[in-house]
């Protein structure tokens, strides 16, 4: 099995008196898709924020490829290849879609990997957009980001991550707000990311769609990890059922 790509141990974070994340530990293995599910307020997004350095941890450690990134700031972690999407997408509305990808192309990670010979950033941006499904012939990449529907904006988020040449993408509810059809069209993109050997952590609410792609699932409730395993195992777990449905439901 080898060493886990990401090793999270005993992460905790309180806001005021509320323990948003309470002693959560798990491993992430290279190439897998790990889903993180749980009812509203269970701390899923906070967990993501803690791992990617956007929120300071109260306690616990995070190791990525053996490096201790617990105290690292968000931009350093992104530069390591551990990137994330945002649940609420806020693009530069008055700029064309491809201009939104300029910042990641400026990052030290890209500058290093291309040794400063990135070439025309605009062209690279448009190529990446095409990869995530922006139809070049219909000039979609040139449309103002503020005029794009949500499905495209979510893909823009993926594009932003891809511009960083990531190893791992933490997806914060990428399916939320999308129609069933839009989600169905996003799934091949997710599968393609996995085929490109990018590891994914997907925090999601839409269980059915998530279970189609996730290899393993982690369930959270009230900030704690209550179950971990394959989608099937986890849905059979009575604790998980109680968390979602409130009571033991006999089926």
Residues that bind another protein (CB under 8 A): 15-16, 45, 49, 52, 54-56, 73-76, 78-79, 83-84, 86, 90, 92, 95, 99, 102-110, 121, 160, 163-164
DSSP 145: G
Among 21, 11, 9, 14, which Cα is nearest to 222's?
Answer: 21
Nearer to another protein, 29 or 121 (CB): 121
Strands of 224-229's sheet, edge to edge?
A: 82-84, 168-172, 199-203, 33-37, 216-221, 224-229
Nearer to another protein, 73 or 147 (CB): 73
Nearer to another protein, 106 or 139 (CB): 106
Cα 223–Cα 229–Cα 233 angle in degrees, nearest 5: 110
Closest contact distance (angstroms) between CB of 229 and another protein is: 29
Q: Which residues are CB-contacts of 81 (< 8 A; sequence separation ≥ 6)?
A: 109, 164, 165, 166, 167, 168
Closest contact distance (angstroms) between CB of 227 and another protein is: 26
Nearer to another protein, 74 or 235 (CB): 74
Listed in sequence order, the DSSP H helices in 132-171 are 150-162
Closest contact distance (angstroms) between CB of 78 and another protein is: 4
Closest contact distance (angstroms) between CB of 110 and another protein is: 8
């Amino acid at each position: 099995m080898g060493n886990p790509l990401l090793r999270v141990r005993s992460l905790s974070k309180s806001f005021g008196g509320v323990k948003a994340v309470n002693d959560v530990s798990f491993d992430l293995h290279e190439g897998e898709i790990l889903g993180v599910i749980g009812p509203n307020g269970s701390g899923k997004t906070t967990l993501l924020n803690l791992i990617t350095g956007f929120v300071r941890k109260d306690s616990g450690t995070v190791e990525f490829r053996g490096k201790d990134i617990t105290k690292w700031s968000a931009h350093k972690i992104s530069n390591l290849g551990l990137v994330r999407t945002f649940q609420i997408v806020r693009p530069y509305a008055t700029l064309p879609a491809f201009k939104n990808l300029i910042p990641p192309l400026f990052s030290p990670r890209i500058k290093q990997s291309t040794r400063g010979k990135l070439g025309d950033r605009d062209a690279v941006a448009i190529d990446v957009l095409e990869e995530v499904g922006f139809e070049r012939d219909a000039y979609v990449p040139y449309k103002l980001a503020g005029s794009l529907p949500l499905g495209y904006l979510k893909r823009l988020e993926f594009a932003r991550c891809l511009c960083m040449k990531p190893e791992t993408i933490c997806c914060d509810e990428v399916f939320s707000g999308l129609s069933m059809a839009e989600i169905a069209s996003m799934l091949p993109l997710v599968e393609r990311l996995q085929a490109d050997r990018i590891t994914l952590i997907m925090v999601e609410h839409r269980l059915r769609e998530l279970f189609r792609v996730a290899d393993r699932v982690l369930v959270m409730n009230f900030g704690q990890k209550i179950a971990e395993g394959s989608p099937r195992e986890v849905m059979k777990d009575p604790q998980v059922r109680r968390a979602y449905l409130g009571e033991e439901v006999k089926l």
